[in-house]
Amino acid sequence: MTNVEFNRVDTLVEHPVLVDVQGMRQVYHKGDNPDLVVLDDVSVTIREGEIVGLLGRSGSGKSTLLRIISGLLQASAGKVQWCGKPVTGPCEGLSMVFQSFALFPWLTVLENVEIGLEAQGVAAAERRQRALQAIDLIGLDGFENAYPKELSGGMRQRVGFARALVVHPRLMLMDEPFSALDVLTAETLRTDIIDLWIEGRLPAKSILMVTHNIEEAVLMCDRIMIFSSNPGRVAAEIKVDLMHPRNRLDPEFRALVDDIYARMTQRAPAGKVEKRVADGFPGTGIGMALPRISTNLLSGLMEALAAEPYNGEADLPDIAGELQMEVDELFPIAETLQLLRFAELEAGDVRLTEVGKHFVQSDVDMRKRLFAEHLVSYVPLAALIKRVLDERPTHMAPYTRFCEELEDYLSEDMAKETMSAVISWGRYAELFSYDGHARAFSLENPS
């Protein structure tokens, strides 16, 4: 795999700076516990005339950054400027497209589009005219009087775009705008937006989009900022100088996608002290945050890896394409396998270990035994629960005993998710049983 370098004279330098974020940090305070750092030392500059992508997996704080730039959230520290002025609340000249569309169900398409203009106090006649223009531009003619619930997902997101464009924003923020759509619809909509952009008909001066879809980022953006997780940092910035319209099969395009996959699975450089050296999850020891991944997905991925054509080793973009999964779905599964030492991740590849291969070939009981062994060995929380249950004469322990300990390290939500991950893995491994009514762990299995 080669690192693709592009050298082009940056023609944007003279364009006015819209967003200027320097040394920004976002922290959540949580009682007496150590603060949870969501974003750390983030610097971003966005100029007029470019499409910038924020790429990272969930929990990397990219959506938080988007909300800080839009003024919906206040940064804990650092400089955040919009058009040269500090951001104190939702800014003028910005608009936003939401992942969930965020349309008002009780308003028609036309009324939904008009709402941004209402907020600016635009007179009724002009409002109507501009809204109709935006609807026309985005290809919603004929749907003006429909209610959102009568539209398909793709049409709803078109309303979302029309609503964001009608105010003629200097910067349009997009929060994973295509991820709630099916593959075909998403592709059509992306192409439409890019076509309008190339033709200069899109009434937005710049676009900042959050995505976890690598190909989408390469397809649309002029510049991609890759975020690492926990805390969120800008790990790399990549310029994309391919000509529009871009072709997904173009070797340069593929090389760039491969490069980004590699960067996103790369272990932290040795010199930098980071918590996530051993594996992808934040925190160490008991306080490691675990994703809630079903054991079916874990064995499913291992089986797919073991089978033809991969025979135990696969390129992440390939297997992501075959399994129709996005980074956000695939990475946590692969990383859980890595944590349990069933697979290894390196340079955009995922490879089954010997034990992983053994797992795939085993029957149900053997699989459970293997899983239990590795769970105790490599997941400290599971080991702790098992040890406490063994030590106590009653062989029982309440849920809160562990959850509260976790909350010393993690936020409440993350602690809950980690607990439910461990419960479901422990149940599968028959390491312990858990009674959801009584909220208690025990060693007994119901007889």
Partner 1 sequence: MTLHHPALEAGRKASRIPNIWDAAAFGLLFATFVLFIRGGHETFAPIDALSSTPISLDPANLPEYALRTVLRMLAAIIASLLFTFVYGTLAAKSRRAGLVLIPILDILQSVPVLGFLSFTVTGFMALFPGRVIGVEFASIFAIFTSQAWNMTFSFYQSLKTVPADLEEASRSFRLTGWQRFWRLEVPFSMPGLVWNTMMSMSGGWFFVVASEAISVGNTTITLPGIGSYTALAIQDKNFGAIGWAVGVMLAVILIYDQLLFRPLVAWSDKFRVELSAGGEAPRSWLLDLVRRARMFRRIFLPITHVVSALPRQRMAFPVAPPRAAMSVWRSVWVDRLWVVAVAAAALYALWLIWSFVATELTGPEILNVVWLGFLTMVRVVVLMALATVVWVPIGVWIGLRPKVAERVQPLAQFLAAFPANIIFPFAVVLIVHFKADPNIWLSPLMVFGTQWYILFNVIAGASAFPNDMREASSIFRIGGWSWWRKVILPGIFPYYVTGAITASGGSWNASIVAEVANWGDTKLTAVGLGSYIANATTAADYPRIVLGIAVMSAYVILFNRLLWRPLYAFAGSRLRMN
Nearer to partner 1, 132 or 214 (CB): 132
- Closest separation between CB of residue 320 and partner 1, Å? 27
Q: Which of 70, 228, 229, 336 binds partner 1 (CB under 8 A)?
A: 70
- Phi, then psi, of 398 in degrees rounded to 5: -75, 155
Q: Among residues 109 and 379, whose Cβ is nearest to partner 1?
A: 109
CA-to-CA distance for 188 and 177, rounded, in angstroms? 13
Chosen residue from 58, 83, 147, 443 binding partner 1 by CB under 8 A:
147
Closer CB to partner 1, residue 163 or residue 233? 163
Judged by CB under 8 A, the residue of 83, 98, 242, 329 near partner 1 is: 98
The region, left, alpha or beta by phi > 0 then psi within -120 to 50, assigned to residue 61 is: left
Of the residues 32, 85, 86, 149, which one makes contact with partner 1 according to CB under 8 A: 149
Stretch touching partner 1 by CB under 8 A, among 14-22, 105-113, 238-246, 386-394:
105-113
Q: How far is the CB of 136 from partner 1 (least distance, A)?
A: 16
SS3 (DSSP) at 78: strand
- Distance, CA of 56 to CA of 220 (rounded, Å): 16
Q: Which is nearer to partner 1, 150 or 354 (CB)?
A: 150
Q: Specify the 3-state DSSP secondary structure of 227.
A: strand
Query: For the sheet containing 440-442, what is the strand order?
Result: 396-398, 440-442, 433-435
Least Å distance between CB 202 and partner 1?
A: 18
Residue 148 is a binding residue for partner 1 (CB under 8 A): yes
Distances (CA, A) of 162 to 90, 143, 159, 169: 19, 12, 5, 11
Contact pattern for partner 1 over residues 379 through 418, marking x by CB under 8 A: ----------------------------------------
Query: What's the closest the beta carbon of residue 125 comes to partner 1, in angstroms?
Result: 12
Chosen residue from 10, 118, 408, 412 binding partner 1 by CB under 8 A: 118
By beta-carbon proximity to partner 1, the closer residue of 115 and 236 is: 115
Binding mask 78-97 for partner 1 (x = CB under 8 A): ------------x-x-xxx-
Of 110-118, 221-229, 281-289, 345-353, the window that binds partner 1 (rule: CB under 8 A) is 110-118
Q: How far is Cα 253 from Cα 247, in angstroms, rounded to an integer? A: 7
- Alpha-carbon distance of 344 to 335, in angstroms, equals 8
Among 200, 304, 316, residue whose Cα is nearest residue 265: 316
Question: Where in 228-267 is the site for partner 1 (CB under 8 A)?
Answer: none
**Distance, CA of 310 to CA of 301 (rounded, Å):** 11
* Unique residue bearing structure tokens 């291969």: 357
H or E element in which residue 331 lies: helix 327-339
- In 3-state terms, what secondary structure has residue 259? helix
Decide whether 173 or 219 has the Cβ nearer to partner 1.
173
**Using CB under 8 A, which of 47, 156, 205, 374 touches partner 1?**
156
Binding mask 170-199 for partner 1 (x = CB under 8 A): ---x--------------------------
Based on the shown chain and the rule CB under 8 A, indicate whether residue 28 belongs to the binding site for partner 1.
no
Could you tell me the smallest distance in angstroms from the CB atom of residue 414 to partner 1? Answer: 18
**Interface segment toward partner 1; rule CB under 8 A; list 66-74, 220-228, 254-262, 321-329:** 66-74
345: part of which helix (H) or strand (E)?
strand 343-346
Q: Which is nearer to partner 1, 142 or 269 (CB)?
A: 142
- Angle value at C-alpha 175, between 201 and 5, nearest 5 degrees: 75
Supply the minimum distance, in Å, between the C-beta of residue 44 and partner 1.
18
Instruction: Confirm or reject binding of residue 61 to partner 1 (CB under 8 A).
Output: no
113/220 with CB nearer partner 1 = 113
For residues 426-445, which are near partner 1 according to CB under 8 A? 437
Residues in a beta bridge with 440:
398, 435
Query: Positive or negative, the Cα torsion across 429, 435, 441, 442?
Result: negative
C-alpha dihedral, 273 to 278 to 280 to 281, nearest 10°: -90
Half-sphere exposure for 166 (CA within 13 Å, toward CB): 30
Residue 234's DSSP bridge partners are: 227
Q: What are the angstrom distances between the C-alpha of 89 and each of 27, 85, 257, 326, 339? A: 18, 11, 36, 33, 41
Contacting partner 1 within 127-146 (CB under 8 A): 144-146
The residue ranges that bind partner 1 (CB under 8 A) are: 67, 70-72, 90, 92, 94-96, 98-108, 115-116, 118-121, 124, 144-150, 156, 163, 167, 173, 437
